Amino acid sequence: MTISNPTAPSPSGLASANGHAKVQELESVTIRFCGDSGDGMQLAGTQFTNASAILGNDISTLPDFPAEIRAPAGTLAGVSGFQLHFSSHAIHTPGDTLNTLVAMNPAALKTNLKDLEPGGILIVNSDSFGTSDLQKAGYTSNPLDSEAMKNYRLIKVPINKLNREAVAECKLSPREADRCKNFFALGLVFWMYERPMEPTLKWIREKFAKNPAVLEANTRALKAGYNYGETMELLPVHYRVPKAKIPPGTYRKITGNEALAIGLVTATQLAKKELIYASYPITPATPILETLADLKRYGVKTLQAEDEIAAMGMAIGAAFGGAIGVTATSGPGVCLKSEAIGLAVMTELPCVIIDVQRGGPSTGLPTKTEQADLLQAMFGRNGECPVPIVAPRSPADCFHMVFEAVRIATRFMTPIFLLSDGYIANGAEPWSIPSLDSLPRIAIQHPTTPNSWANEPQHENGAGEPGKFLPYKRDEWLVRPWAVPGTPGLEHRIGGLEKQDVTGNVNYEPGNHEHMVRTRAKKIQNIAETIPDLKVHGPASGDLLVLGWGGTYGAILTAVERAQRKGWSVAHAHLQYLNPMPKNTEAVLRSYKQVLIPELNAGQLLWLIRAKYCVPAVGLNKIQGRPFLVSEIEAKIEAILTGAPDVEITTTPVVSDGPSQG
């Protein structure tokens, strides 16, 4: 695999003599669409992504939207952006710097220009740079006239005007007509990068089937944008990013949240179990609920609970009833669910708790990504309360890891955390569609007969008599049987009070309590016997191991590969299983002179690794609500290996347009 550092080509001397723009081939392009949150930038970005994916590029996306649904139009707080990295080779991140920026208004320009590379293409809607637009964005003069613009290839397009002309015959109100302008901009960029329009045209036909006027207008706007690019020869060249050389197969685009929803349905259907999904709406986990709520014909039952606690209780109740109980939330919701998660630990019932992490503490940064709930998932409950944790490393990996979560929960009769994050949840990448035969079948058994025999030790109250059902009699992995109400002869009671070993009766004896605490912990440790070893990408031993978890995978992998190509002795390992960790984790850590742990938090895996293995690892920590740039990790790797002074991640300049904006 090769890593490109894409730069836009020089504009000089490429225009062809016959007036038709030439085509230039590029390996990779990073583009960002940004505008007001009402401008439809997420839609434009998604459509561009679809077109690129269908064309066969590898893709990685980074949607970035404000917490406010509709912040005042034109303000900095209301800017919404969608970044896409598309490439003719395998890529793992949405790109560090932009080759092309589409800015629909001054506020979008102001907040995003810093990410555009020198010489990059800047497309602006010049109709939205009037005096009041500039004022709302805090500009005192028109930035398009400034010296700074000389650093970019600025393309001013009067999108409002051109779009209105394009849709003039569709008999829309001026407001409705203006809503089509994202399609005009999209058409223009489609032309620039030789993308096929058909997938978007098809989407428009399906989406607006009931509204022919809007269907027609959006179609016209898209085509008008495309044709405008072509006829005006806006650029002397247009660009082609060929198909990526990725492993053969049938692919689709998938976001992390979609992969979780689809993975849950698949895992439970193959296990011949009912999926009961209970959740309270919370950003950024809500799309999972919305997706599953629309999958009723797959037999999925969804409950929109009255609160986070209720959602957890419903998942536990479903598990007690023999179904796969699942809930998803974000950090604040995990806080509320904690007591109930403890109940699931005590009663040893299998349920899956998905935490799509966001910036915290408290309400924090609802729409921004962070990895700061690891220690909460690990320890955030009363008592000795071990819960296994898995963490997908990319959007498509969510499918695999949620399968694992269901497997571990049911095999070990335990609640389990799956830690996703805002970046994985909303980001998209190609997913190689698996064949059903290749997927594991999770085998689940419910007892139908009593499990107590004549030669067993007797317990208090005669509970060890032959023919009785003993709800806490464990198998070789220390797992108790999952007997389901409705089964004759197995009537039993469970609850949150400490259990007597074997019988499950309420018991407060000191020795029994310690035994049960240790047994519950040992059971969770036993999971390590069933998970794959930690794999290393790079030399099996050497100077530096970069250890990560979760959504930082792509950035770390790319940075490590770049360092490897420069000849450094550095390897990458990524933990998808955080509790318990793979059995070879310590051996891997000890095979390198130094260990670097980059995280989007203040050092939580770092804390665990140091405490657990006494390895003097160091951290690289970014807490800005944004994913790592590859360059940030690369710089830290080099600093460590060259013994240079510590590298800190610089804070992006704060852009503010006044105290009232959230």
Partner 1 sequence: MSATTLPTLTVKDLTTDQDVRWCPGCGDYSILAQMKKALASLGVPREKIVFVSGIGCSSRFPYYMNTYGFHTIHGRAPTIATGLKMAQPDLQVWVVTGDGDGLSIGGNHLLHVIRRNVDVKILLFNNEIYGLTKGQYSPTSRLGTRTKSSPQGSIDNPIRPLSVAIAAEATFVARTIDVDVNHMVTVLQRAAAHKGTAFVEIYQNCKIFNDGVFDYVTDKSIKSDNLLYLEHGKPLVYGKDRNKGIRLNGLDPEAVELGNGIAVDDLLHHNESAKEPSLAYLLSRMVHPEFPECVGVFRAVRKPTYEELVQEQIVKAIKAKGPGKIEDLFRSEDQWTVE
Residues 303-362 that bind partner 1 (CB under 8 A): 303, 305-307, 309-323, 325, 339-340, 342-343, 347
Segment near partner 1 (CB under 8 A); pick from 71-79, 158-166, 494-502, 522-530: 494-502
259 scored as a contact of partner 1 (CB under 8 A)? no
Strand order in the sheet with 618-621: 536-537, 570-575, 542-549, 592-599, 618-621
CA distance 547 to 591: 12
The minimum distance between CB 447 and partner 1, in angstroms, equals: 13
- Please pick, from the candidates 43, 54, 479, 655, the single residue that binds partner 1 as defined by CB under 8 A: 54
**Nearer to partner 1 by C-beta: 498 or 657?**
498
266 scored as a contact of partner 1 (CB under 8 A)? yes
396 scored as a contact of partner 1 (CB under 8 A)? no
**Residue 400: burial class (beta carbons within 10 Å; 0-12, 13-18, 19+):** buried
Of 356, 478, 479, 348, the C-alpha closest to 417 is 356
The minimum distance between CB 230 and partner 1, in angstroms, equals: 24
The minimum distance between CB 491 and partner 1, in angstroms, equals: 5
**Nearer to partner 1 by C-beta: 57 or 371?**
57
196 scored as a contact of partner 1 (CB under 8 A)? no
**Nearer to partner 1 by C-beta: 126 or 487?**
487
- How does DSSP assign 284-315, residue by residue? TTHHHHHHHHT-GGGT-EEEE-SSHHHHHHHH
CA distance 618 to 596: 5
Segment near partner 1 (CB under 8 A); pick from 53-61, 79-87, 123-131, 541-549: 53-61
The minimum distance between CB 231 and partner 1, in angstroms, equals: 29
- Please pick, from the candidates 56, 130, 242, 364, the single residue that binds partner 1 as defined by CB under 8 A: 56
240 scored as a contact of partner 1 (CB under 8 A)? no
Non-local (6+) Cβ contacts of 296 within 8 A are none
The minimum distance between CB 308 and partner 1, in angstroms, equals: 10
**How many CA within 13 A on the CB side of residue 631?**
7
510 scored as a contact of partner 1 (CB under 8 A)? no
587 scored as a contact of partner 1 (CB under 8 A)? no
Task: Please tell me what DSSP assigns to residue 499.
Answer: B
Quick check: 524 and 517 in contact, CB under 8 A? no
Non-local (6+) Cβ contacts of 580 within 8 A are 388, 524, 525, 527, 528, 531
CA distance 183 to 214: 12
Question: CA torsion sign, 116 to 120 to 123 to 129?
Answer: positive
- Please pick, from the candidates 19, 118, 488, 662, the single residue that binds partner 1 as defined by CB under 8 A: 488
The minimum distance between CB 227 and partner 1, in angstroms, equals: 24
**Nearer to partner 1 by C-beta: 76 or 246?**
246
CA distance 206 to 214: 12
Lookup: tokens for 523: 């059971």
- How does DSSP assign 504-558, residue by residue? --B---HHHHHHHHHHHHHHHHHGGGGSPPPPEES-SSEEEEEEEEGGGHHHHHH
138 scored as a contact of partner 1 (CB under 8 A)? no
222 scored as a contact of partner 1 (CB under 8 A)? no
- Please pick, from the candidates 38, 119, 130, 199, the single residue that binds partner 1 as defined by CB under 8 A: 199
- 605-644 binders of partner 1 (CB under 8 A): none
Quick check: 401 and 368 in contact, CB under 8 A? no
Strand extents, DSSP E, 104-140: 116-125
Number of shown-chain residues binding partner 1 (CB under 8 A): 78
Of 266, 330, 554, 547, the C-alpha closest to 429 is 554
- Please pick, from the candidates 118, 174, 247, 457, the single residue that binds partner 1 as defined by CB under 8 A: 247
**Nearer to partner 1 by C-beta: 71 or 349?**
349
- 416-475 binders of partner 1 (CB under 8 A): 433-434, 436, 461-463
- Please pick, from the candidates 8, 53, 77, 401, the single residue that binds partner 1 as defined by CB under 8 A: 53
506 scored as a contact of partner 1 (CB under 8 A)? yes
**Nearer to partner 1 by C-beta: 190 or 228?**
190
**Nearer to partner 1 by C-beta: 11 or 249?**
249
- Please pick, from the candidates 276, 352, 372, 595, the single residue that binds partner 1 as defined by CB under 8 A: 276
Continuous segment of H or E residues that includes residue 424: helix 422-426
- How does DSSP assign 428-454, residue by residue? EEEEEPPPGGGSPPPP-----S----T
**Nearer to partner 1 by C-beta: 107 or 316?**
316
Segment near partner 1 (CB under 8 A); pick from 77-85, 280-288, 293-301, 366-374: 293-301
User: Helix 256-270 and helix 286-293: axis angle, to 10°?
Assistant: 50
**Nearer to partner 1 by C-beta: 63 or 598?**
63
